[in-house]
Homo-oligomer: A and B are copies of this chain.
């Protein structure tokens, strides 16, 4: 877990994978997948990793809010086809978590992305630091 130096377009970086189907309805007038659908594919991987690996570490009332996303487009995506989304923890802040992602279709990395989410205190809806033991678990996930 270093600082954005990781080559997000490298499949070897990811152990958590999510797979989606490219829909005819994802295409835009230019005949390729619309840019906003890349954000949807990223969301698919991120939500799956949160649900399966991260939320179980937290209280039932804890929630996350999305603070920022960046997508770097590398190639067009086409229909029909699938997209594989690799997701990993890239950085861990006091109350925030940054995911690194790679989208892959037909053997190419079509985009890389970063997304930062912030843990919210359920009562105040303000940022809340990750508890120490959770932090240790997240580091372990991140080091994977």
Contacts and interface: CB of A to CB of B under 8 A. Distances in A.
Interface of A: 19-21, 23-25, 27-29, 31, 34-37, 39-40, 43-44, 47-48, 51, 65-73, 79-80
Copy number of this protein in the oligomer? 4
Contacts of A36: 25, 36-37, 39-40, 43
Contact of A24 (B27, B44, B68, B80): B44
A29 to B, nearest CB: 4
Contacts of A35: 39, 43, 66, 69
B24 A21 contact: no
A140 to B, nearest CB: 24
Given A23-B43, A66-B73, A67-B72, 11 more contacts: A19-B21, A23-B40, A25-B44, A34-B43, A36-B37, A36-B40, A39-B39, A48-B80, A68-B71, A68-B73, A70-B71
B23 A44 contact: yes
- The 4 lowest CB-CB distance pairs between A and B, nearest first, are A36-B39, A70-B70, A27-B29, A36-B40
A29 B44 CA distance: 14
A25 B23 CA distance: 13
B80 A72 contact: no
B24 A28 contact: yes
Nearest to A71: B69
